[in-house]
Amino acid sequence: MFNKIVSMTITFIVLISLLHSPLTAVTKGMVTADNVNIRSGPGLDYEVIGQAQINSSVDILEESSGWVKIHIGQIEGWMSKEFIKQQSSPSQQANTIQITVEDTEVDVQKEPSLTSEIIGKVQSGETYELLEEKNAWYQIQLSSGDKGWINQWLAEKVAGANATDSITTVYDQTHFRSGPSLNHEIIEITDKNKTFQVISKQGNWYEVELDGQNVYVEESLVSDGEDEKSKESDSLLKNKRIVIDAGHGGADTGTISASGDYEKFITTKTAHYLANKLEALGAVPILTRTDVHTFLPLSTRVAYSNAYQADAFVSIHYNSAPQFPNVHGIGTFYYHDAHKELATLIHDEVIKATGFKDRQVRFGDFLVIRENKQPAVLLELGFLSNDEEERTINSSSFQEKATNGIVRGLLKYFD
């Protein structure tokens, strides 16, 4: 009898404490570095049980002496607090931007112009209140109290999703990934017409729950009900043969960037980003080269297009004008009048997606488009000789936006 009374008393005390303890929503966080160790306890002496990649979203469960307990995918463990950026609540996020460029710091200009005085620096992953938006620039306030401007391609608006928001897959073989970029692992592949509740939106990526874990899907692969007409139930790109020509390669390094890198590296990166997106939409991407070490004569690149009877040929390049380091922007070239429509549609969508300066669609006498019997364009996706534009170009955020623009241009062309 005594034991029963004690048991009832303990149960009553626990119930009372639960009633008086406020329920706290799980805090969201974002990983700010690559290959961050997840440990079994809050300290360096504990076993490493996994790793997290940059921009991965985590649930923050508790904190202890500079460590945070997190949940990511199927792993629950501890991570050093210095590698976690706590995300604000949806109500706080309405007028917030997050710096997304993958450099340690980004220039803040006094006026909304690349030639304006630099008044400070901001770091990748930091968030700031958006004070004003002008053309392609965001105004923010620095910790010093000074107000300055950063170009919109360096940051993303961070908007919280409503609990009622939902998205629906519009293509078969839709990829859901462990984080908000194409660099993250594919966790699940689903068919079209699957509906999910939105947890959050980070840039061009939706976070949803699938089979008990948080995953991400790129916005071009789903419908949120606002633009049903442009997202056909069957992809307009299905079985379209798209030749993707990464400019230069091997001994042909291409232009040398402001930091000393070769153009061939970034054209290869862009080509792979684009190929992954096209494949996910049912197209047949054909890469003229798949690595930076391969050299291909220009005539061989054209032969790919003609031999495969490509539905479109897209040559990827980056520009340079070292004698004019402030020159920037994107230009697109065609040779045959019949190909001007393809060039214009892709160019307009890339400009819209990136916010880069519009250097227009123009006639260009380049062999890979001149000798091409198939619809062919050549893109110059920014100036590597411009220090700030080079940093932006190398970010995953820009690569996502630019290749999204190319895909949307192709969709409009084939519609």
- Tell me, yes or no, whether 249 and 390 share the same domain: yes
Q: What's the pLDDT tens digit per position in 246-281? A: 999 999 999 999 999 999 999 999 999 999 888 877
Same domain as 128, residue 35: no
Give the integer Cα–Cα distance in Å for 406 and 243. 13
Is residue 268 in some structural domain? yes
Cα 177 from Cα 186, distance rounded (Å): 4
| 301 lies in the same domain as 369 | yes
Q: Is the pLDDT of residue 14 over 80?
A: no
Predicted TM-score (pTM) of this structure: 0.55
Let me know if residue 235 belongs to a domain: no
Domain tally for the chain?
Answer: 4
Residues 175 and 220 in one domain: yes
The predicted structure's pLDDT at residue 235: 64
380 vs 387, more confident: 380
Q: What is the 3-state secondary structure (H, E, C) of the chain?
A: CHHHHHHHHHHHHHHHHHHHCCCCCCEEEEECCCCEEEECCCCCCCCEEEEECCCCEEEEEEEECCEEEEEECCEEEEEEHHHEEECCCHHHHCCEEEECCCCCCEEEECCCCCCCCEEEEECCCCEEECCEEECCEEEEECCCCCEEEEEHHHEEEEECCCCCCEEEECCCCEEEECCCCCCCCEEEEECCCCEEEEEEEECCEEEEEECCEEEEEEHHHEECCCCHHHCCCCCCCCCCEEEEEECCECCECCCECCCCCEHHHHHHHHHHHHHHHHHHCCCEEEECCCCCCCCCCHHHHHHHHHHCCCCEEEEEEEECCCCCCCCCCEEEEECCHHHHHHHHHHHHHHHHHHCCCEEEEEECCCHHHHCCCCCEEEEEEEECCCHHHHHHHCCHHHHHHHHHHHHHHHHHHHC
Give yes or no: residues 254 and 179 share one domain: no
Instruction: Please report the pLDDT score of residue 220 as a whole number.
Output: 73
Q: What is the pLDDT of residues 345-377, one digit of tens each?
A: 999 999 988 889 999 999 999 999 999 999 999
159, 175, 201 - which closes a domain: 159
Give the pLDDT confidence of 383-403 residue by residue, as tens digits. Answer: 999 998 998 898 877 888 899
pLDDT band with cut points at 50, 70 and 90 for residue 104: low
- Res. 35: pLDDT tops 60: yes
- Specify if 319 maps to a domain: yes
- 8 or 277: which carries more pLDDT confidence? 277
Tokens at 233, concatenated: 């139930």
Claim to verify: residue 212 and residue 122 sit in the same structural domain = no
User: Could you tell me if 135 and 206 lie in one domain?
Assistant: no
**Residue 287's pLDDT band (boundaries 50, 70, 90)?**
very high
Give the span between the Cα atoms of 134 and 221, in whole angstroms: 30
On whether residue 187 sits in a domain, the answer given is yes
In a domain, 191, yes or no: yes
Lowest mean pLDDT of 198-207, 210-219, 402-411, name the range. 198-207
As a whole-number percent, the residues of the chain with pLDDT over 70 amount to 81
Same domain, 284 and 350: yes
Contact 240, 311 (CB under 8 A): yes
376 class by beta-carbon count within 10 Å (0-12 exposed, 13-18 middle, 19+ buried): buried
Whichever domain contains 270, its CATH number is 3.40.630.40
Residue 255 lies in a domain: yes
The yes-or-no verdict on residue 245 having pLDDT over 90 is yes
Residue 79 lies in a domain: yes
Name which residue leads in pLDDT, 313 or 20: 313
Q: Which residues contact 123 (CB under 8 A, 6 or more apart)?
A: 99, 104, 105, 106
Sign of CA dihedral 236, 240, 245, 250: positive
Q: Which of 83-87, 151-155, 404-408 has the highest mean pLDDT?
A: 404-408
Is residue 293 located within the same domain as residue 353?
yes
For residues 84-92, average pLDDT: 55
Range of the domain at 62: 2-86
281 and 339 in one domain?
yes
State whether 53 and 183 are in the same domain.
no
86, 106, 138 — which closes off a domain? 86
Return the CATH number at 71.
2.30.30.40
Task: Tell whether the model's pLDDT for residue 4 goes beyond 50.
Answer: no
Domain annotation covers residue 10: yes
Final residue of a structural domain among 29, 54, 86: 86
126 with 187, same domain: the answer is no
Mean pLDDT of 38-59: 83
